[in-house]
Structure 1
């Protein structure tokens, strides 16, 4: 296969993922109403999936500074999605909980994920889903190792 073949498959995959997101986004109406930035949405989704995640872990996961996370958190707090508070056991630690709207968004998101699995994912062969997951894990590992080993954006050594 040539690089052009890989590029074509890569771009088709990205296009499919974008279309999937476009079709499914209306299934979480509160998320559409809130008009969050993609960064704020990412933070919310991380907290919905990993309730005990810290701001430092969020920063590391999405590759932005703690300061940028803090700025995004301001809007999330203003919208009553997340609430920051000082941990009384360790005053240097901030705990994050869901606000009232955050709880509602989490309920909608959980229902959304369940419906996606029931309506669409369950129609696929389990072996195909496992293969897709294996390929994604392999791609993640390849990218991580390439970045750790100092490959530039064209796959050449820095």
Structure 2
């Protein structure tokens, strides 16, 4: 088997894992968001407070596209906007009501999945998994910075 075949087999297995987890656990979250809305919400959660410009840059979406996505999230009470007191021309976006509830449930699901499945891996295997993911992330981000 070639290296590419092993990679494809690994991807296929992760697809099956994710499919199983989505059906059995994450479907409980009752997500009413589009994939792009979810990506924006998740990024805001990571870098809160987020600026529209930062979201646009990190997700490589146009400013108007991000603004429309944030509008939808704001209408759904997932996020709120406020003026940046240090720079009144900037708008800051924060997780709000339904967004806070969503991430609380999301964290509970993650904890449940970790406890039920990933905890069965040894500490050494868990560290290897994390180290592999970090190495692959570094390779991908370094390569994409040169494109």
Could you say whether these structures have the same fold, taking a TM-score greater than 0.5 normalized by the shorter chain as the test?
yes
Displacement of 1:127? 1.3
The answer on 1:52 being equivalent to 2:49 is yes
Task: Normalising by structure 2, report the TM-score.
Answer: 0.81
Uncovered stretches (5+) of structure 2, i.e. residues with no partner: none
Q: Which of 50, 65, 70 pairs up with 2:67?
A: 70
Q: Which of 7, 12, 24 pairs up with 2:9?
A: 12
Q: Indicate conservation of the 8 Å contact 1:30/1:105, yes or no.
A: no
The answer on 1:134 being equivalent to 2:135 is no
Counterpart for residue 32 of structure 1: 30
Q: Identify which of structures 1 and 2 has the higher relative contact order when contacts are C-alpha pairs closer than 8 Å and 6+ apart.
A: 2
Alpha carbons of 1:108 and 1:89: their partners in 2 closer, same or farther (altered >3 Å)?
same
The answer on 1:86 being equivalent to 2:86 is no
Uncovered stretches (5+) of structure 1, i.e. residues with no partner: 151-158
Q: Where is the strand percentage greater, Structure 1 or Structure 2?
A: 2
Aligned alpha-carbon RMSD (Å): 2.4
Q: Indicate conservation of the 8 Å contact 2:50/2:92, yes or no.
A: no
**Aligned partners of 1:47, 1:120: CA distance in 2, in Å?**
28
Displacement of 1:140? 2.4
